[in-house]
Amino acid sequence: MSFADLGLSDELLQAVEAAGYTEPTPIQAQAIPPVLMMKDLIGIAQTGTGKTASFVLPMIDILAHGRRRALMPRSLILEPTRELAAQVAENFEKYGKNHDLKMALLIGGVQMGDQLKALAGGVDVLIATPGRLMDLFERGKIMLTGCELLVIDEADRMLDMGFIPDIETICSKLPVNRQTMLFSATMPPVIKKLADRFLSNPKYIEVARPATTNTNIAQHKVAVNARKKREVLRQLLRTDDVSTAIVFCNRKTTVRELATSLKRHGFAAGEIHGDMDQPARLAELERFKAGDINILCASDVAARGLDVKGVSHVFNFDTPWHPDDYVHRIGRTGRGGATGRAFTFVAPEDAEAIENVEKLTGGKIPVYELQFEEAEAPREEKPRREPREKTRRESGERTREERAPRRDARSEEPRKERRPRRAEPEPEDDGWNGPVPEFLSVSALA
C-alpha cells in the first residue's frame, strides 16, 4: 500500500514524497481513511509508529477548504508537553507547505505577545498545551465555538500529568457537532471514560497491544549498586558502540548532576528537564539533533513522542516509578524500523518497580552481565580534593592538626591565672552595699 491509496490530495502526496516517505505505517494506513470521512477515531499505538502523521496528514486536506476568523481557531490539537506541541508544529510545516494554512503554537514558557498576534489574525490549526490554552480562554483572548476538529494526543500522558479536568473543561466549550480524535499508547479506565463521554461512535484502531514494547529494541536490565551507577553508565557508553543515547532519570536534580559528571569525564553530554525554560530546552534538543552532543540526560519530559532519528541507545539510569513510562522511554530508540538497545539500571531498592514493568510488558527483561574493565569511582572525587590540599601547603596555611597544639598552649596559662580571680568576688557578690551587719562581724562571732 502507498500513500496514494489512502485518498490524500496530490499536493499532500508531493509533500510526503519530498519528506522521504513512500509507504504508510500500520496506524497511518488504518487511521487516515476514516479521518478523511469525518469520523471520530480512537487510535491505540505504541510510541514510534508514526502516530502524529496519521492525524496531521488528513487534517491538512480537511482544512484546505474553509475560511479562518480572528480569535476562532478552526481546529485544535492538545499535547501534554511543549516539546510534543513543537514537534507537531514541525510536522504541519513539513507536510502543509503546498497548502495555504495558518498555524499557531500555544505553549507556556514563552511570551504571549506573538501567540496573541497570531490568534488575532485567525488560524486554521491551533496546537496547544492545556495550561496555556485555559489561561488565554479565561482571559477572553480566544473563542472555541468555531473549532470543528479536535485531537487529544498522548491521552494517557495527559492523565499522568493531571490534565484530565482541563481536557473535560475544554471539550465542554467546543461545538457538539465536531470531529474528535483521541490517540494514546495505553487505555486506562479514566481515558476510556473520557472517550465515551466526548466521542461519538468512534472508529477504534489498535496496532499493538497496550503497553507492548517495540520488538526491534534489545532490552536489558543491569543489576547495580546505587553508588556505582555512574561508573556502570560510563563503561557502557564506552564499550557498547553507542552513537547517540538518551539517559533518563527520575529526578531533575539527578539529570543536572549526571550531565555535569559526564562532561567532566569527557563525554559530549547535554540535559533537558522541566526546570529549564522553553528556549533553553529547545536549544538543547536542537544541539542533540544536530550532533553537537551525542548524549542527552533527560527527565520524563522527553519520554513521550520526541522524534529524534538515529538514537542507538536508551539508558534508564533510574528504573521508572511508573511502568508505562518504561514503554515510552525505550521507545526513543528503534524508531522507523531501525534497531536499538535499552539498558535499565536496577538497584536493590528498585525490585518492586522493575517487577511492575515486567508485569506490564508481559515478560522478563534479560539480565546483562557487565564485566568491569577498570574501577573509576575514586577518580570522580579525588581531583576536587587534591588542589585544595596543595593550595594550603603552598600558601603556608597551617592544618587543623598543626593549629591545635598552639591553641592548647595559649589557653593553658590564662586558665591558671583566671581561676583565683573568679573565686575572689564570690563572697562579696551578695547584693549588699551597706556596712557589715553586727551579727556577722568577727567580734560578734568571737
Residue 140 in any domain: the answer is yes
Domain stop point among 357, 380, 403: 380
Q: What is the pLDDT of residue 445?
A: 42
pLDDT digits (tens, 9 = 90+) for 129-169: 999 999 999 999 999 999 999 999 999 889 888 999 999 99
- Which residues pair with residue 295 across a beta bridge? 245, 269
Q: Model confidence at 14, in pLDDT bands (50, 70, 90)?
A: very high
* Ramachandran assignment for 289, one of left (phi > 0), alpha (psi -120 to 50 degrees), beta (any other): alpha
Has residue 118 got a pLDDT over 60? yes
| Residue 216's pLDDT band (cuts 50, 70, 90) | confident
pLDDT in tens, 368-388: 987 755 444 434 444 444 445
Query: Residues 170, 250: one domain?
Result: no
What pLDDT is recorded for position 211? 61
Q: State whether 136 and 267 are in the same domain.
A: no
Distance between CA atoms of 170 and 79, rounded to whole angstroms?
13
74: CB partners within 8 A, 6+ apart: 63, 66, 68, 123, 124, 125, 146, 147, 148, 149
Q: Are 82 and 195 part of one and the same domain?
A: yes
Distance in angstroms (rounded) separating the CA atoms of residues 256 and 401: 37
177 and 247 share one domain: no
Structural domain that includes position 252: 217-380
Mean pLDDT of 180-208: 92
Q: Are residues 119 and 138 in the same domain?
A: yes
End residue of a domain, out of 171, 206, 241: 206
Beta strand pairing call for 269-272 and 245-248: unpaired
Whether residue 198 sits in one domain with residue 332 = no
Give the model's confidence band at 401: pLDDT under 50 very low, under 70 low, under 90 confident, else very high.
low
pLDDT at 396: 53
- For residue range 57-81, what is the model confidence (pLDDT) as tens digits? 999 999 998 899 999 999 999 999 8
Total of domains in the chain? 2
Residues 157 and 239 in one domain: no
pLDDT tens digits for range 38-62: 999 999 987 667 889 999 999 999 9
Q: Is residue 35 part of a domain?
A: yes
| Residue 40 pLDDT | 97
Residue 392, pLDDT > 60, answer: no
Last residue of a domain, one of 161, 181, 206: 206
Q: Residue 424's pLDDT is what? A: 45
Q: What CATH number does residue 335 fall under?
A: 3.40.50.300
pLDDT at position 265 over 70: yes
Residue 346 and residue 278 in one domain? yes
- Answer whether residue 420 is part of any domain: no
Q: Pick the range with the lowest mean pLDDT from 136-140, 246-250, 327-331.
A: 327-331
Give the closest residue to 22 by CA, choosing from 37, 5, 9, 35.
5
- Identify each DSSP E strand in 52-142 by its residue range: 75-78, 103-106, 125-128
Is the domain of 196 the same as that of 239? no
Q: What is the pLDDT of residue 363?
A: 87
